[in-house]
Structure 1
Amino acid sequence: MNNSVINELNFKNEPVIKYLPKSRERMELEAELYRIKNFYIDIPLIIGGKEIRTGNKGLCIIPHNHKKVIGEYHKAGKEEVELAINEALKAKTKWEEMPWEHKVSIFLRAAELAAGTWRAKLNAATMLTQSKTCRQAEIDSACELIDFFRYNAYCIQQIYNEQPLSTKDVWNRIEYRPLEGFIFAVSPFNFTSIAGNLCASPAMAGNTILWKPASTTVYSSYVVYKLFQEAGLPDGVINFIPGNSGEISDTVLSSEHLSGIHFTGSTKVFQDMWTAVGNNITNYRTFPRIVGETGGKNYIIAHASADRKSLIEGLIDGSFEFQGQKCSAASRAYIAKSVWNEIKDTLIKKVSNIKVGDIEEIDTYMGAVIDNKSYDSIAKYIEYAKNSSDAEILIGGEHDDRSGYFVNPTIILTENPNFKTMEEEIFGPVLTIFIYDDLNYSDILKLCNNTSKYALTGSIFAKDRYAIEEAEKELVHSAGNFYVNVKPTGAVVSQQPFGGSRLSGTNDKAGSKFNLIRWMSPRVIKEQLHIK
């Protein structure tokens, strides 16, 4: 019997652990890092709870030591994808009929495991496969992943509590059904927490999932999947199908049972998926929900009244943490001339002291970029700037892929506000700066707004309240997450729901009720109490 009414689930953000030398958590993490590097893993597909090995394999490589292979994974083909669809549909009836408290309990259990005995596993896998420092991994694969699970549970309870008004004669209620088919979750390489949330949030709402993780980070995604299993997730609810994007997508997007896409990745891939859905629209049993977060060309604007110290910190951390491979990373900056004259030397000196290298060394600030394709793309932008009469490299510009895919933090100065690196997404540790006359602040706001088709994040640094107000008004459509006197990265679940518009995505705000409601199909029930 289920007749309980839960008024509120408590939520509190998971504290960040510092991993000080010789601390218990540091030693646990180091032991797990050693284990992963010295134990070669064979990662299967997991479909309907069964492990499947196709023999068509990809490699799990450490980006900052790319000659080191720590495992291999099996790739799904058309046959395995069709099987995954069938298993997701088979599991759906029982899963959606399970009381919501039981579904939520599984992910609350996953959060507790991630906060405890699984923390080192998650962080070590993220550090090695994504070349994240200990701090960046802790924020991502521990704290944010835990927060997603717990806050989604909190939001689901709030949504289910939202009921329509009834009258003396009529009782109205809403039933929050899951969508009718299956969800296709496609996760990126850069955040383990995003990968976990892309499949977990629709599942918590009662949907069953096909999960295709990024090929470069199958290892860390597999650890998340095993966490789900340890927490008690039933077979077939989430089906793990790494493989080649095109081959998997062609089969998934042509299935009549596709009911939703939960995506984070490149704008081009998302556009191609949307096009495929449009081409198949008459074949579906329902209109698929399409939720995506894609690219960004994120900005920092410094007004003449900006606090110099905060600005320098925002420029460095916003641009170079995790090698600039955050969707929210700052990539262009517009700085008032009076401010630039005061901060230039300090900024360059601090950037020159950034340590790039092995992420296991405690004082490393930046690791390697994710793979050879990314390295080559970033290097081409840097070389373009080196050879251009419109730009000057102030610091950085070095890159070396002999042992790892290393790109030094790079600052480009340009007098052309439409220079290539001011407009195009780079997704690496490259910041381009344009200096403007103090009196042209209003014009710079307009320029910033009109420069990019992306609208993910942006920051304004100013003490002048009128300047802040003007920026908020002029840049209203330029960023889904707008920051005042702080870097444009580091959104915290429950505090800054994340997402952007324009070509940055559908702005459905991961880590909020806005996202979760997309995986529900409300049914309104009206009951006449007074029968004439």
Structure 2
Amino acid sequence: MSNSIFKTPIPVNEVVRSYAPGSADRKDLQAAIAELKSQTHDIPMFIGGKEVRTGEKVEMRPPHETKHLLGHYHKGGSEHINMAIDAALKAKPQWSALSWEHRASIFLKAAELLSGPYRMKINAATMLGQSKNAYQAEIDSACELIDFLRFNAYYMTEIYNVQPESSTGIWNRLEWRPLEGFVFALTPFNFTAIAGNLPCAPALMGNTIVWKASETQIFSANVIMEVLREAGLPDGVINLVFVSGAVAGDIIFSHKEFAGLHFTGGTNTFNTIYRKIASHLDDYRSYPRIVGETGGKDFVMVHSSANAIQVATALSRGAFEYQGQKCSAASRAYIPQSLWPDVLERMKQDVASMKMGSTEDFGNFINAVIDAKAFKFITSYIEAAKNSSDAKVVIGGEYDDSDGYFIRPTVIETTNPKYDTLCTELFGPVLTVYVYPDDKFEETMELLDQTSEYALTGSIFAKDRYVIEKAVKALENCAGNFYINDKPTGAVVGQQPFGGARGSGTNDKAGSVLNLYRWVSARTIKETFVTPVDYRYPFLGEESK
């Protein structure tokens, strides 16, 4: 048998394609959308490598075209959670024993498949199922997921290369084992890349997975599974189930072999899960690893030295791209009185020029929010602002769900620094602005720090470098990802490790080596080459006379 220490390909970030008018990419993507829309899809669960259909079918419809039926997925129950756990545990010994380079090869192949033959399909599925425009789908479901797969393989080798020093006569080694048991991946609707990374990252490190996808992301989740199977992922390593959260939680979080949770979603959901896990600590073989990226009430702090047009552009993009349905979306801004008129005027121009409608029209910057529940929740806060004594809608405020769940980009101005929409995560195209006196910059930063339970992303806009340094220090606990003179969205794998603290999660930084450390358990091995044969140490010897 020959042996080598292998090096993975050095990753580089996938190049974002433009889909400009007349380009071949644009035509290919439009063709992929048309092909997916022409079919009525029947999507099964995948358990132990087998397609599982229950006959309990749930409709899938584009959020921007609710009259069109994409197809159905098969909803499962408690028996399917048990099947998935059993399949994961059955696959675990062989998968964890597989040489690491072969695990890496599977996910590196998946990245190449997404980069090439599956690129248009994963983008089209995300555009139809989650109402993302072509650019938002490209940076998410293609580029970011490809980056996760490539960079994680590279980070895995970094971890394995971390080894202790050894003294003369001994050899110290660190063994990086997968967790003992199975990992539960609970994924969100808003990023196809996150939905793919949450099961794939721990699987890369030798774990086996039960994956529950969001019901509004199943259309693209099915494509991810198709890619992984094409890449050669063995049966039972990742098991995709479509069940209710309550059913999954009752079984998984009381199971002896539950080893870890990889989660992105709402803060309240995460808090409930955390409590449930704590109540079952005596039931587990090991303390579970709990990794969560949760809510955000992300801010833009503006100083009077900032450029008003730059601020307006950052807010128009940061608050309204993908209808504000990003964990990192700018949802509150603190703007000095001297700049506010210019910022407001430019934002009015921006929003007036934003076309809204189907993702199939590539001229639409704004598409639909994800479902009826989100539509109702977001619009209730817009209506409250219209009738408030300490807030007013200064841009947008219109909405319509007759053909899809459409909400115009909305800006609320408030005189109350604790107004509801400065505190509550809406997860929609709504930005709330608090206008402050220019000479109250430091006091306003204190307000910002105290207003929200979240600490995911935020930014400072200023030309004055002393002010920038002051803000970086004053707001150090307000955001896990902090931006200087930029919008608080758009973290790139390998460049800006992503995650927040406080009510925004465990800050385990997806897109970096830090996240992968959570999915391994270290074992220290010490080997002594010449073993002592006498218990006596030299200090026990008698003094010579």
TM-score (norm 1): 0.99
CA distance, structure 1, for counterparts of residue 420 and residue 414 of structure 2: 10
CA distance, structure 1, for counterparts of residue 531 and residue 182 of structure 2: 40
Q: Determine the structure 2 residue equivalent to 1:474.
A: 474
1:358 CA displacement: 1.1
CA distance, structure 2, for counterparts of residue 342 and residue 51 of structure 1: 57
Q: Determine the structure 1 residue equivalent to 2:156.
A: 156
Q: Determine the structure 2 residue equivalent to 1:213.
A: 213
Residue by residue over 1:267-296, the C-alpha shift from the partner in whole angstroms, topping out at 9 and shown as x without a partner, is: 111111111111111111111100000100
Determine whether 1:192 maps to 2:195: no
Q: List gaps (5 residues or longer) in structure 1.
A: none
Q: Determine the structure 1 residue equivalent to 2:128.
A: 128
Q: Determine the structure 2 residue equivalent to 1:373.
A: 373
**Secondary structure class of the residue paired with 1:67:** coil
Q: Determine the structure 2 residue equivalent to 1:310.
A: 310
After TM superposition, the structure 1 = structure 2 runs for residues 145-294 of structure 1, keeping only pairs within 5 Å, are 145-294=145-294
Label 1:18 to 1:282 Cα distance change in 2 as closer, same or farther (>3 A). Answer: same
1:21 CA displacement: 2.3
- Count of paired positions: 532
CA distance, structure 1, for counterparts of residue 164 and residue 345 of structure 2: 60
**Secondary structure class of the residue paired with 2:66:** strand
Q: Determine the structure 1 residue equivalent to 2:542.
A: none
Q: Determine the structure 2 residue equivalent to 1:47.
A: 47
Residue by residue over 1:92-121, the C-alpha shift from the partner in whole angstroms, topping out at 9 and shown as x without a partner, is: 000000000000000000000000000000
Moved more, 44-53 or 334-343: 334-343
> Contact between 2:8 and 2:153, CA under 8 Å: does it hold in 1?
no
**Secondary structure class of the residue paired with 1:314:** helix
Q: Determine the structure 2 residue equivalent to 1:115.
A: 115
> Contact between 1:60 and 1:70, CA under 8 Å: does it hold in 2?
yes
Q: Determine the structure 2 residue equivalent to 1:388.
A: 388
CA distance, structure 1, for counterparts of residue 458 and residue 353 of structure 2: 26
**Secondary structure class of the residue paired with 2:70:** strand
Q: Determine the structure 2 residue equivalent to 1:142.
A: 142
Moved more, 333-342 or 400-409: 333-342
1:71 CA displacement: 1.1
Residue by residue over 1:20-45, the C-alpha shift from the partner in whole angstroms, topping out at 9 and shown as x without a partner, is: 22322212111110111110111111
Residue by residue over 1:79-100, the C-alpha shift from the partner in whole angstroms, topping out at 9 and shown as x without a partner, is: 1111111110000000000000
> Contact between 1:212 and 1:242, CA under 8 Å: does it hold in 2?
yes
Q: Determine the structure 2 residue equivalent to 1:424.
A: 424
CA distance, structure 2, for counterparts of residue 299 and residue 2 of structure 1: 55
Q: Determine the structure 1 residue equivalent to 2:98.
A: 98
Moved more, 356-365 or 294-303: 356-365
CA distance, structure 2, for counterparts of residue 423 and residue 31 of structure 1: 43
Q: Determine the structure 1 residue equivalent to 2:443.
A: 443
1:343 CA displacement: 2.4
Q: Determine the structure 2 residue equivalent to 1:349.
A: 349
CA distance, structure 2, for counterparts of residue 229 and residue 8 of structure 1: 21
1:8 CA displacement: 5.6
Residue by residue over 1:361-410, the C-alpha shift from the partner in whole angstroms, topping out at 9 and shown as x without a partner, is: 12110100000000000000000000101111111000100000000000
Q: List gaps (5 residues or longer) in structure 2.
A: 533-545
CA distance, structure 1, for counterparts of residue 415 and residue 253 of structure 2: 45
**Secondary structure class of the residue paired with 1:433:** strand
> Contact between 1:320 and 1:366, CA under 8 Å: does it hold in 2?
yes
**Secondary structure class of the residue paired with 1:369:** coil
Rg (Cα) greater in structure: 2
**Secondary structure class of the residue paired with 1:69:** coil
Moved more, 278-287 or 448-457: 278-287
Letter in 2 for 1:96: S
Letter in 1 for 2:217: T
1:466 CA displacement: 0.8
CA distance, structure 2, for counterparts of residue 68 and residue 339 of structure 1: 45
> Contact between 1:47 and 1:239, CA under 8 Å: does it hold in 2?
yes
Runs of 4+ displaced beyond 6 Å? none
Determine whether 1:457 maps to 2:490: no
1:68 CA displacement: 1.2
Moved more, 191-200 or 264-273: 264-273
CA distance, structure 2, for counterparts of residue 85 and residue 452 of structure 1: 38
**Secondary structure class of the residue paired with 2:339:** helix
Q: Determine the structure 2 residue equivalent to 1:13.
A: 13
1:509 CA displacement: 0.3
> Contact between 1:9 and 1:157, CA under 8 Å: does it hold in 2?
no
Letter in 2 for 1:262: H
> Contact between 2:312 and 2:344, CA under 8 Å: does it hold in 1?
no
Moved more, 309-318 or 16-25: 16-25
CA distance, structure 2, for counterparts of residue 345 and residue 83 of structure 1: 57
1:13 CA displacement: 0.3
1:531 CA displacement: 2.2
CA distance, structure 1, for counterparts of residue 8 and residue 109 of structure 2: 17
TM-score (norm 2): 0.96
**Secondary structure class of the residue paired with 2:184:** strand
> Contact between 1:187 and 1:198, CA under 8 Å: does it hold in 2?
yes
1:2 CA displacement: 5.4
Determine whether 1:74 maps to 2:36: no
Letter in 2 for 1:251: I
**Secondary structure class of the residue paired with 2:522:** strand
